[in-house]
Every structure is written in C-alpha cells, then in structure tokens.
Amino acid sequence: MIQRYGIYEIVLSRTIDAASNPFVDVTLSAAFTQRNRVVHVDGFYDGDGIYRIRLMPDQTGEWTYATHSNLPDLDDQHGSFIVGPAAPGQHGPVRVANGTNFAYDDGAPYSPIGTTCYVWNHQGDGLEERTLATLATAPFNKIRMCVFPKHYDYNHNEPGFFAFEQTASGFDWTRFNPAYFRRLEKRIAQLGALGIEADLILFHPYDRWGFSHMDRATDECYLRYIVARLSAFANVWWSFANEYDLMPAKSMQDWDDYFRLVQTSDPAQHLRSIHNCRGFYDHAKPWVTHCSIQSSDLHRAAEWVGQYGKPVVFDECCYEGNINHGWGNITAQTMVHRFWDGFTRGAYVGHGETFMHPDEILWWAKGGDLHGQSPTRIAFLRRVIEDAPAGHIVPIDIHWDVACAGIPGEYYLFYFGNRQPSFRVLPLPADRRFTIEVIDTWEMTLTELPGTHSGDTRVELPARSNIALRVRRSGERGRRGEGEKRWEGA
C-alpha cells in the first residue's frame, strides 16, 4: 500500500523514435482524483524509453488517475490505488503556519535549523556518504544545496554528473541527463530519511559551464523537468537562486515568471524563496512563501517579520571558519550569538562552516566533517526551540535592548546577546504565574529559578554575555490581577 506523503509512480515504457527528442516533443501529465478533488501532475522522460508520473499523495484513501499525452501510446491510461497512513516520522512537506512560522503538512511542529553545503551532492559517493553520516548526528533539519555544480574559491573540482546530456561539442541544452537526476533524487531521499529538508537552489552565479546563463526557453524547460521529477519528494523546498542579484543574465521579470511557472506546475506546492547577495528580491510578492535572507543584521529580524508577514529565514549570516573571505571567518561565538539573536526575534537562522582544509573540503561547499564549535550549541538551541509550546511564535517588543520571541502570556524567550546585565526587571503579565530559567547559551546550561513569578519581576543575572531567559506559564493561576482579563485556553 502507498503511504501518505510517500511517492506513487506511474511508469510507462515506450519505444523511442530516434529522430524525436522525448524531453521536449512529448507532453505527459496525469489527473489524480480523490472524490471531487483533482490534482494535475506533469510526467517526465527518464531515458531508455521510460516515462514517469509521480504523485505525493497527501491524503489517505482511494485515488484514481487518468493520463494525458500528445503520444497516443501514453494517453488515457487509467488506474487507482489506496493510500494508507504515513510512515512513522513522515509528516509531509513543510508549510507556512501562523503566518510567520512553519509546520509540517500534518500539523506537526517544524522550525528550520539549517546548514549550507552548496554542492555536497557533486563530490562523488565517498565524500557524499561521509556528509550523510555527519548529518545523521548534526543538529540540522534543513540543508541548502545546488542542482548545478559550483565554480569558486575552494571549488575547482569537476563534478561527475551534469544535469544536461554532454556531446562532443558541449551540452545538449534540449536533453537532460536522467542519471544525474536519479542521483540527486537518491540524495534527497537520503536526506528525507534523516529528517532533513532539501532547500534546493535552482540557479546560482558561480559557474564555468554555462548553467547561470542558459536561455529563457532552456530555463523554463529545466524548471518544468525538475518540478516533474522532484515535487513528489516531501522534503523538497524550491530556492530559486543563491544570490539572484549576482546573475546579470536574468531580469527581475525572469525571476517573477520562474516563480509563477513553478507555482503553477508544482502539485505539492513546496515552499518557494529566493536568496540575495546585496538587495532583497521583493519578498512581499505573493508567490514567495518565506524570506530567504543573506544578512548579518540579525537585529532586524523582527522588523522584517513585521514588514513581510512571512517567515524570515537568515539562510546566510556568514559561516564559522577561518578563510580569507569575511563571509567565511566568523567565530563559533558569533555564529551561536546570531542563532540566538535571530530566533529570539521571531526568525530562523542557518549555519555554515568554512575552515581551511588541506584537501579544500570545506563544509559550506562540499560537506564532509564538521570542525567547528557551533553545531553543539545549535543542537542545544534546537532542543530549547522544540520544547516551546504549540502556538504562534512572534517577536515580542519588550524594550530596545533585549531580544524576545514567544507566545504572549504563555511563553517568552529573552536573549541579552553580547550584553552582560547583573539584573533585569521583566514585565510579566500580572494575572498568571511563570517559571523562569536562566540559560547560558554558550555553556549550554539551564538553571531554573526557585518559585513562580508574576508581574514586574527582578531577575538576578550572571553578568556574563550570551545569557537567555526562558519564561513559561506555570500550571497555577496567579493571585494578582483579580479584576484583569483571565487567559482563556488549555
């Protein structure tokens, strides 16, 4: 039986006319139906005379389908299948929830704790399997990675597989290389098994092969093909670009159109974003599901959450490391600080690592091993985040000099950053009581203060930097504020 959020695949095999190009000459789709609901899914050519149409069924029960094609042999094929419960741990694609948070499709909580390994999937089996082994014990549940290989400092090796068919004179831009995509799918599935979202970068500027300046028709053909192949993988996100603004061959109109093409084609409606170098793409455009931001201005997180009304993900806030480039040599302390700063202003933050390596295996590009001191602390933060109660986590404006996010009246996470106060008065609601824990974000300690607290509460602090406070509503109601409005809820 097919599992909910698994992949149902229609496989059609037909002899290919040598004179035709099935990648471009054949149209193929299926209409999947469950009672009155119809889901339109495009198929794709997988080489060797094989065509596939893939659905990620998001509801249990019986589904039927009928195919449509300009090839009579592929047209009007019918079938039905039963979808049962999801596999354990499979919660479906990540969605925007509560406006500025995320959750899995089945409602299970999800907060992205990302990392970046741009081309880990272009490094060959040995290193790629090592990366997967590292990820299995790392704190990350999202990874930024590219479809196309990368040409840049510390990235001069040639990839083993290309997305397009190679000929004696270069690439045939009208024919894809199914072997490349099967390999990519395998890696995405392996990430999925580890509970990691594949934030797939569709275009990027660091290129010596031509993928950054394909013509418009090729771009569109590529986008349709990759959506057809990958939309049935629950853990795919579409990142239209890494540093879109460093790609002069594409206009803003191109980006807008590509967003809409994918939005129209993708039956699973995976998350869609685009990442900047300098200026933002306008994240207010309706086809952008969340803000993918490169910036070290974590202190502006709450401003952008408010401005866009969408989840804000700092996908790049510099990387822990020691290379020459300023974006790749921040300390572990700074990285951990940025994580806490971003999360306690209602946003999400991503990691990366760029330590000099004798074989130029830098995590940020190629994966491999993690060498830094931040992942352990990020794992600690992840546990704190995953302990938060259900509800809409929002930035809470307490005062200019302390970051705070939480669920007003229920849950607050304060963070004092590089400040070192010896005490602080918290303006807690007076009509209920709270427990307070002092968190050392670097030492990873969590110390609960005695008793419960209500109203303006003076908290003694250790006069060190990187201290957070977790304030949670305690079971008992406060005695103060008799006449005030009581909190109504579970």
Residues that bind a copy of itself (CB under 8 A): 321-327, 329-331, 334, 356, 399-402, 416, 418-425, 463, 465
Q: Is 87 helix (H, G, I), strand (E, B) or coil?
A: coil
Q: Least distance to a copy of itself from the beta carbon of 425, Å?
A: 7
Q: Least distance to a copy of itself from the beta carbon of 329, Å?
A: 5
Task: Read off the DSSP letter of residue 490.
Answer: -
Q: Least distance to a copy of itself from the beta carbon of 486, Å?
A: 30
Least Cα distance to 376 among 286, 426, 441 occurs for 441
Place of tokens 């010896």: 422
Residue 193 or 277 having the CB closest to a copy of itself: 277
Q: Least distance to a copy of itself from the beta carbon of 8, Å?
A: 49
Q: Which two three-digit tokens encode residue 95?
A: 């969605």
Q: Least distance to a copy of itself from the beta carbon of 391, Å?
A: 27
Q: Least distance to a copy of itself from the beta carbon of 336, Å?
A: 12
Q: Least distance to a copy of itself from the beta carbon of 460, Å?
A: 11
Residue 3 or 155 having the CB closest to a copy of itself: 155
Contacts of 355 (CB under 8 A, 6+ apart): 320, 321, 322, 323, 362, 363, 371, 372
Q: Least distance to a copy of itself from the beta carbon of 420, Å?
A: 5
User: By the 8 A CB rule, do 417 and 337 touch?
Assistant: yes
Residue 177 or 465 having the CB closest to a copy of itself: 465
Residue 204 or 424 having the CB closest to a copy of itself: 424
User: By the 8 A CB rule, do 289 and 308 touch?
Assistant: no
- Residues 259, 260, 266, 271: what is their CA dihedral angle, to the nearest 10 degrees? 40
Residue 289 or 294 having the CB closest to a copy of itself: 294
- Residues 178, 181, 182, 184: what is their CA dihedral angle, to the nearest 10 degrees? 160
Residue 71 or 277 having the CB closest to a copy of itself: 277
* DSSP string for 130-157: HHHHHHHHSS-SEEEEESS---BTTB-P
Least Cα distance to 175 among 222, 229, 226, 209 occurs for 222
Looking at 46-169, which runs of residues are DSSP E strands?
A: 50-55, 61-69, 78-84, 94-97, 101-104, 114-116, 142-146, 164-167
Residue 263 or 329 having the CB closest to a copy of itself: 329
Rounded distance between C-alpha atoms, residue 311 and residue 306, angstroms: 10
Residue 222 or 339 having the CB closest to a copy of itself: 339
Q: Least distance to a copy of itself from the beta carbon of 416, Å?
A: 8
Rounded distance between C-alpha atoms, residue 377 and residue 441, angstroms: 7
Q: Least distance to a copy of itself from the beta carbon of 153, Å?
A: 11
Residue 266 or 320 having the CB closest to a copy of itself: 320
User: By the 8 A CB rule, do 173 and 409 touch?
Assistant: no
Residue 334 or 435 having the CB closest to a copy of itself: 334
272-298: burial string, b at 16+ Cβ within 10 Å, e else: bbbbbeeebbebeeebbbbbbbbbeeb
Q: Least distance to a copy of itself from the beta carbon of 321, Å?
A: 8
Residue 420 or 447 having the CB closest to a copy of itself: 420
Least Cα distance to 3 among 270, 262, 192 occurs for 192
177-204: burial string, b at 16+ Cβ within 10 Å, e else: bbebbebbbebbebbbebbbbbbbbbbb
